[in-house]
Amino acid sequence: MKLSAFFGQISQNYTGNTNVEGSPALEQGLKNGMEAVMGKQPGQTIAGEVLTRDGSDILIAIGKNQLLQAKLEGGMSAQIGQLLTFQIKNNSGSRVVLSPLFENMGNDPNVSKALQAAGLPENSVTAAMVKAMMQEGLPINRQSLYQMNRLVNANPAANLQTLVQMQRLSLPVTPENIAQFEAYKNYQHQLGQSLSDIMDAFTQSFKEIAGSDNLQEGISFYRDVLGALLDGAKEAAVDESLKALEGQGKGEGDMAGTLPLSGKELSELARQLKQAGFPEELANAVVNNRMGGKELLNELQRLLSQGDWPDKKSLMELLDGKEFKQILKNEMGRQWLLSPEEVAEEKSVDKLYERLNNQMNRLNQALSQSARADTPLAKTVANVSNNINFMNQLNQMFTYVQIPLKMQGQNANGELFVYTNKKSLAKKDGSVSALLHLDMEHLGSVDVHVSMTNQKVATKFYLQDDSALDLIADNIEILNKRLSDRGYSMNAEFINKEEGTSVMDEILKQGKNISALAGYSFDARA
């Protein structure tokens, strides 16, 4: 049952206190109401009082001089003077879709009885709480209601449904987890994008600190952050060295230790290095592309730590130049993203998260010690850390992990959720099901549902674009052959989906007693 509110022309006649059609006061109130709702995120709630009703058309006051002109759907009841609470489902464009969390609950004998038995007041909030608990399958007893009521009172700004769902999933209710939970539900949770944002936030913070004749502090900030990145990447360096040695054995060693720049960019970078006081031999190694990105960053870190820079303005030009920023971004990607081939390597995802967790902790420490906790970089790093911690909390009950991917010409964000059908668990037939969700630049949103019983694999590919579906269908034999070589048989279906899928939606569909797959458990904090 939904209430759809439409903002635009004032074309309805109302009775009561607002019977002046098209009056300036009414128009201003509706404008203010629209601004209030559009300023909220999907998933948040609004509450208001029904002022007038004419058939399915109602007018709701949600604040001082804030009105909503709405249309009831599905035979929903609403009386003048009634208080209603709604969750915002969508507020894009000029159309706002609201879902009622409280609809004359006082007349529901089950709700009233439960609240009375628990000794809790009966109002729109407590009634909505009981209904949400019923919808999520939570027990409605005195202890459960008291506990949930304490959570609601302790988090008055949080979405009520979010609190109930987190309680059902046994997720710790903290401000950080609440923010992450709602971000996951609203498609704003991608770890890959947050990691990419760190580079931009680093540059922005550096400019803010180094501005206003404060170059010395900006350079110190750059040194601290660079040190945290380099010192926290020892394992990545070891893995890279081993891969380089393997590559040399295969005749691929000449590809190691180069910079991701064109010849013209290498020459410009070498010029900037010389002006900033770097040794001549280092600039020559750069212009001839005989140096890797990590080696160059280590040399810069050594110079900054010594405080040996004869020309600070030239150093600023180097650090803020597009060539050097490309090297730094490439190094971050090397440490924080996995190629599809690397994902298949044993423990590769665990090592990635161990590295990420260590580096985010070091960055947080460096930023807090230098009193720079309010910079864009600090906020972005905190968001990544909170995301990793939230994933770890999810993995206490479900098997879920995000995989930031580096692919040819683009980066992608992957999400893997492993679950089994309850009946399969009961029969212990060994079947396993998983959802792989990918957000890619060219293919868009891709969902792959995979189920496996013994050696039989069934896959369903869901894409929004017909040409993308055709592309995968035309190349599915490559995957089929690889599985066949490993003793598996595969059946594939290709389906056009109309809307995007959230992995959190799949998690929320699972029953409250779903069992975790111990064999696939994943600790994001390693």
Matching residue, tokens 């004359």: 104
Local confidence band at 48 (pLDDT 50, 70, 90 cut-offs): confident
Mean pLDDT value across the chain: 78
Q: Which region among 141-155, 216-230, 269-283 has the lowest average model confidence (pLDDT)?
A: 216-230
Residue 233, pLDDT score: 54
For residue 180, which of 378, 42, 385 has the smallest C-alpha distance? Answer: 385
Any idea which residue has 């502090």 for tokens?
217
Question: Closest by alpha carbon to 60, among 95, 100, 9?
Answer: 100
Catalogue the E-assigned strands of 409-519: 410-419, 432-440, 444-453, 456-463, 489-496
Distance CA 497, CA 491 (A): 19
- What is the mean pLDDT of the segment spanning 199-220? 79
H or E element at residue 472 = helix 466-474
Max CA distance (Å), the chain: 86
Least confident of 156-170, 460-474, 504-518: 504-518
Confidence check: pLDDT of 506 > 60:
yes
User: Which pLDDT score is estimated for 86?
Assistant: 74
Please check the confidence at residue 276 and state whether its pLDDT lies above 70: yes
pLDDT of 515 higher than 80: no
DSSP string, 129-177: HHHHHHHTT---SHHHHHHHHHHHHH-TTS-HHHHHHHHHTT----HHH
The pLDDT value recorded for residue 519 is 29
Alpha helices in 257-375 (DSSP H): 263-275, 280-287, 293-306, 312-319, 322-336, 340-343, 348-369
CATH of 395-520, one of 3.20.20, 3.30.2010, 3.30.750, 1.10.3470: 3.30.750
The pLDDT of 421-438, averaged and rounded, is 64
For residues 42 and 92, give the distance between their C-alpha atoms in angstroms, rounded to a whole number: 9
pLDDT at 383 exceeding the cut of 90:
yes
pLDDT band at 427 (very low <50, low <70, confident <90, very high): very low
For residue 77, the one-letter residue type is: S
Model pLDDT for residues 349-376, shown as the tens digit of each residue? 889 998 898 889 888 887 877 667 778 8
Q: Is the pLDDT of residue 514 over 70?
A: no
Q: Is the alpha carbon torsion for 150, 155, 156, 161 positive or negative?
A: negative
104: left (phi over 0), alpha (psi -120 to 50) or beta: left
Q: Would you state the pLDDT for residue 279?
A: 85
pLDDT at residue number 220 = 81
What is the reported pLDDT for 424? 43
Q: What are phi and psi of 212, to 5 degrees?
A: 55, 45
In the prediction, which pLDDT does 209 show?
A: 80
Q: What distance in Å separates the CA atoms of residue 526 and residue 520, rounded to the nearest whole number?
A: 14
- Mean pLDDT, residues 388-399 taken together: 87
Copy the structure tokens of residue 237.
Answer: 């360096």
Specify the higher pLDDT residue, 348 or 500: 348
pLDDT at 471 over 70: yes
- Nearest Cα neighbor of 206 from 216, 196, 193, 191 is 216
Confidence category of residue 524, pLDDT binned at 50, 70, 90:
very low
| Nearest CA-CA partner of 190 in 336, 43, 354 | 336
Query: Listing from the earlier edge strand, what are the strands of the sheet with 432-440?
Result: 399-407, 410-419, 432-440, 444-453, 456-463, 489-496
Cα dist. 218→221, 222, 299 in Å?
5, 6, 18
| Separation of alpha carbons 42 and 326, rounded Å | 36
Percent of the chain predicted with pLDDT > 70: 78
SS3 for 236?
Answer: helix
Closest CA to 492 of 522, 453, 526, 456: 456
Give the model's pLDDT for residue 103. Answer: 46
Question: What angle (nearest 5°) sits at the alpha carbon of residue 512, between those of residues 510 and 515?
Answer: 75
pLDDT at position 428 is: 53
pTM of the model: 0.69
Q: What is the pLDDT of residue 64?
A: 81
CATH H-level, domain 3-102: superfamily: Nucleic acid-binding proteins (2.40.50.140)
**423 or 48, greater pLDDT:** 48
**pLDDT tens column, 134-187:** 888 888 889 999 999 999 999 999 999 999 999 988 899 999 999 999 999 888
In tens, the pLDDT along 27-47 reads 888 888 888 888 887 777 777
320 has pLDDT over 50: yes
Mean local confidence (pLDDT), 206-227: 79
Which pairing describes strands 66-72 and 57-63: parallel, antiparallel, or unpaired? antiparallel
DSSP state of 338: B
Q: For tokens 């792989």, what's the residue?
A: 436
Residue entry with tokens 């309850």: 422
Q: How high is the pLDDT of residue 108?
A: 62
Answer yes or no: is pLDDT of 241 > 80. no
pLDDT higher than threshold 60 for residue 98:
yes
**Confidence class of residue 497 from pLDDT cuts 50, 70 and 90?**
confident
The confidence score (pLDDT) of residue 180 equals 94
Domain boundaries, the chain: 3-102, 105-168, 191-384, 395-520
At residue 499 the predicted structure's pLDDT band, cuts being 50, 70 and 90, is: low
For residues 349 and 525, what is the distance between their CA atoms, to the nearest angstrom?
11
Nearest CA-CA partner of 92 in 465, 440, 499, 502: 499
Highest-pLDDT range among 206-210, 285-289, 497-501 = 285-289
| Mean pLDDT value of segment 118-127 | 87
pLDDT value for 196: 86
pLDDT band at 253 (very low <50, low <70, confident <90, very high): very low
